[in-house]
Structure formats: structure tokens, C-alpha cells
């Protein structure tokens, strides 16, 4: 018994598999480089100096937040932890969590908080002036809301996630609607 479509199916399969690059590579190559962003110097969650330049040759995702954030930050960090699942171990991605609450987010506080996320997240903090400088460099802003009677406060901060290439340039801005699979697809094309 002959299947007339069999030859066409095999031809199409070969054509697809020999086509070379996948869509994420092509999409990543078409990403623009933003004019904002760049190197900075802060302290990591192990209380060691950290510079974005330390990650030259690596792809990373950067997110601004704080450890006392009740909603967006833990959800986003969980989402970012999932990106590595889609990339696999052959494409290690660095995740940077820059605190916008240097008053409460000491390196020790960051380390304790990041222990809850299995992603090798690098927590970063510094002085108020250093943090303001980094946030401005990435075209963002943040502000502390009113302090409540117990002394607690919330901070309004950028919710964007910055995709940074191997040369330290911002290549894409993800928003909260982007899931780990989309982030991984665009990041994969930069490796």
C-alpha cells in the first residue's frame, strides 16, 4: 500500500529540520539595543562587590524590587526562576534582583529572602544614592509610600524585566504579562 503524502511529508520534515536557525534566534537578532542601561557597582547578597561588567559574556535578566514587597516581587522572582527550566543547563542565565529598599534590604536580608527561590538569583543592594543611580540608568524611578503606624511601608517601583546581552546592553523589556517560556525564547537567541 502506498501513501502519496508520505514523500511530501518526509520532504517537509527535512526542510524544517535543515532550515538552520530557530525563530527565537532570528527574533533575538532583530532585537534593538536600548540607549539606557549599562554598568554599575553594588554589593551582592554575600556582601561582595558586584559590577555588571563581571557578567560580560553571559546573558542576564534584571529586575528591580524589594524583599518586603507583598505581591509583584515574589511572583516575578518565581517566574524568573522558571526561565532556566526552558533554557536548560547548557544555557545558564544570570538573574539579578536589584533592591530599591536599601534601608531594609541588607545583604543578609537579601540572602535570607533569595533562599526561597531556587534559581541562583544574585541579590544586589547599595546606598540610597547608588540605587537611585542604577534605577535612573535603567530609565526607571521608585518612591517610598507613606509609612504606616507600625513603621512599615511599600515602595512603588518598575515592574519591567530587562533582558541584558553578553555585552551588557539592554535588548528587551519584558512586562508582567510575559511568561517564562517567552523570556527563555528571546534569551536563547542571545547565547
Residue 5 lies in a domain: no
Q: Is residue 179 scored above 80 in pLDDT?
A: yes
Residue 84 lies in a domain: yes
Here the cell at position 137 is: 540608568
Q: Which of 124, 128, 138 is nearest to 49 (CA)?
A: 124
pLDDT digits 0-9 by tens, 163-173: 999 999 999 99
pLDDT digits 0-9 by tens, 40-89: 999 999 999 999 999 999 999 999 999 999 999 999 999 998 898 899 88
Q: What is the pLDDT of residue 15?
A: 37
- Rounded distance, CA 15 to CA 33, Å? 32
Higher local confidence (pLDDT), 125 or 147: 125
Residue 12 lies in a domain: no
- Rounded distance, CA 128 to CA 61, Å? 22
Residue 4 lies in a domain: no
Residue 21 lies in a domain: no
Q: Indicate the number of domains in the chain.
A: 1
Residue 17 lies in a domain: no
Q: Is residue 135 scored above 50 in pLDDT?
A: yes
- Rounded distance, CA 45 to CA 114, Å? 9
Structural domain for 164, as ranges? 32-188
Let me know the angle formed at the C-alpha of 133 by 128 and 134, rounded to the nearest 5 degrees.
Answer: 100
Residue 27 lies in a domain: no
Higher local confidence (pLDDT), 147 or 31: 147
CATH of the domain at 42: 3.40.30.10
**What's the predicted TM-score (pTM) here?**
0.81
Q: What is the pLDDT of residue 34?
A: 75
Residue 16 lies in a domain: no
Amino acid at each position: 500500500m502506498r501513501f502519496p503524502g508520505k514523500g511530501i511529508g518526509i520532504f517537509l520534515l527535512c526542510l524544517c529540520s535543515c532550515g538552520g536557525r530557530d525563530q527565537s534566534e532570528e527574533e533575538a537578532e532583530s532585537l534593538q539595543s536600548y540607549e539606557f542601561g549599562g554598568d554599575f557597582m553594588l554589593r551582592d547578597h554575600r556582601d561582595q562587590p558586584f559590577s555588571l561588567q563581571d557578567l560580560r559574556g553571559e546573558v542576564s535578566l534584571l529586575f528591580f524590587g524589594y524583599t518586603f514587597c507583598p505581591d509583584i516581587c515574589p511572583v516575578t522572582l518565581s517566574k524568573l526562576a522558571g526561565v532556566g527550566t526552558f533554557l536548560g543547563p547548557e544555557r545558564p542565565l544570570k538573574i539579578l534582583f536589584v533592591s530599591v529598599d536599601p534601608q531594609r534590604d541588607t545583604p543578609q536580608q537579601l540572602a535570607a529572602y533569595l533562599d526561597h527561590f531556587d534559581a541562583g538569583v544574585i541579590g544586589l543592594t547599595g546606598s540610597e544614592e547608588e540605587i537611585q543611580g542604577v534605577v535612573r540608568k535603567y530609565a526607571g524611578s521608585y518612591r517610598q509610600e507613606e509609612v504606616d503606624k507600625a513603621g512599615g511601608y511599600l515602595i512603588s517601583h518598575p515592574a519591567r524585566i530587562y533582558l541584558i546581552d553578553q555585552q551588557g546592553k539592554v535588548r528587551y523589556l519584558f512586562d508582567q504579562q510575559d511568561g517564562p517560556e517567552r523570556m527563555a525564547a528571546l534569551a536563547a537567541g542571545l547565547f
